[in-house]
Structure 1
Amino acid sequence: MEAPLDRAASKSARPAAASEPSAWRRRSFWLQQVRLWHWVSAALCLACMLLFAGTAITLNHADVFEPQPQTTSRTLQLPAALAAQLASGPSEGAAPLPAPVAAWVNAQLQFDLSGDLAEWSEDEVTAALPRPGGERALSFDRVSGALTYETSNRGVVGALNDLHTGRNSGRAWGWFIDVFAIGCLVFAATGLALACLYARGRPLTWPLLATGAGAPLILIILLLFHLL
Structure 2
Amino acid sequence: MSSVSTPEPGGTRAVRRPRTLKNRSYQVARWLHVYTSMISLLIVLFFSVTGVVLNHPEWTFGSAETRQQVKGTLPQTWKAGSAVDWLKVTAALQKAGLKGTAGDYRADSGGDTLSFRAPGYSADVNIEPATGRYTASVDSQGWVAALGDLHRGRDAGSAWSLALDLAGYFLTLIALTGLAMLLYLKKLRLSGILTLLAGAALVGLLMKLALK
TM-score by length of 2: 0.77
Matched with 1:12 is none
Map of 1:76-95 to 2, 5 A cutoff? 76-78=72-74, 81=76, 85=79, 88-89=82-83
CA RMSD of aligned residues (A): 3.1
- Bigger Rg, which one: 1
Give the unaligned 5+ runs of structure 2: 1-16
Pick aligned residue for 1:45 from 21, 26, 40:
40
Out of 109, 119, 134, the residue aligned to residue 122 of structure 1 is 109
Q: Which residue in the other structure is 1:4 paired with? A: none
Write the mapping of 1:32-181 to structure 2, written as runs, cut at 5 A: 32-65=27-60, 67-78=63-74, 81=76, 85=79, 88-89=82-83, 96-97=85-86, 99=88, 101=89, 104-107=92-95, 109-111=96-98, 118-181=105-168
4+ long deviations beyond 6 Å? none
Amino acid in the other structure paired with 1:51: F
SS in 1 for 2:45: helix
**What is the rounded CA distance, in whole Å, between the counterparts of 1:189 and 1:138 in structure 2?**
48
Give distance in 2, aligned partners of 1:98 and 1:166.
25
Q: How far did residue 121 of structure 1 move?
A: 2.3
Per the TM alignment, residue 28 of structure 1 is displaced from its structure 2 partner at its CA by 1.4
Amino acid at match of 1:26: L
- Which protein is richer in helix relative to its size? 1
Match of residue 11 from structure 2: none
Report the alpha carbon displacement of residue 151 of structure 1 after superposing the two structures with TM.
2.3
The residue identity in structure 1 corresponding to 2:197 is A
Residue of structure 1 aligned with 2:200, choices 213, 216, 221? 213
Cα distance 1:102–1:35, how it changes in 2: closer, same or farther (>3 A)? closer
Please state which structure has a larger fraction of its residues in strand: 2
Call closer, same or farther: CA 1:106–1:132 in 2, change over 3 Å.
closer
Name the CA distance, whole Å, in 2 between partners of 1:112 and 1:88. 26
Shift of 1:143: 4.3
Structure 1 stretches of 5 or more lacking a match?
1-20, 90-94
Q: Work out the CA distance in 1 between the residues paired with 2:195 and 2:179.
A: 11
Alpha-carbon distance in structure 1 between the residues aligned to 2:67 and 2:59: 19
Q: Could you tell me which amino acid in structure 2 is paired with residue 204 of structure 1?
A: S
- AA partner of residue 207 (structure 1): L
Report the count of equivalent residues.
195
TM-score by length of 1: 0.72
Question: Which residue of structure 2 aligns with residue 28 of structure 1?
Answer: 23
Counterpart of 1:63 in structure 2: which amino acid? Answer: E
State the shift of 1:25 in Å. 2.1
Note closer, same or farther for the CA distance 1:180–1:98 as it changes in structure 2 (3 Å cut): closer
**Alignment deviations for residues 72-127 of structure 1 (CA, whole Å, 9 cap, x no partner):** 21222346x558x49944xxxxx65374x5554455x05589x9662112121111
Q: Percent identity?
A: 23
Shift of 1:55: 0.7
Worse-matched range after superposition: 48-57 or 63-72: 63-72
Q: Deviations over 1:42-61 (max 9, x none)?
A: 00111010100111111122
Compared CA separation, residues 135 and 190, structure 1 to 2 (3 A): same
After superposition, give the CA deviation of every residue in 1:10-42 in whole Å (9 maximum; x if it has no partner): xxxxxxxxxxx66x6222111111110010110
Please name the residue that 1:198 is paired with: 185
8 A contact 1:166–1:174 mirrored in 2: yes
Following superposition, the deviation at residue 159 of structure 1 comes to 1.0
* 3-state SS of 1:204 partner: helix
Instruction: Name the CA distance, whole Å, in 1 between partners of 2:210 and 2:124.
Output: 38
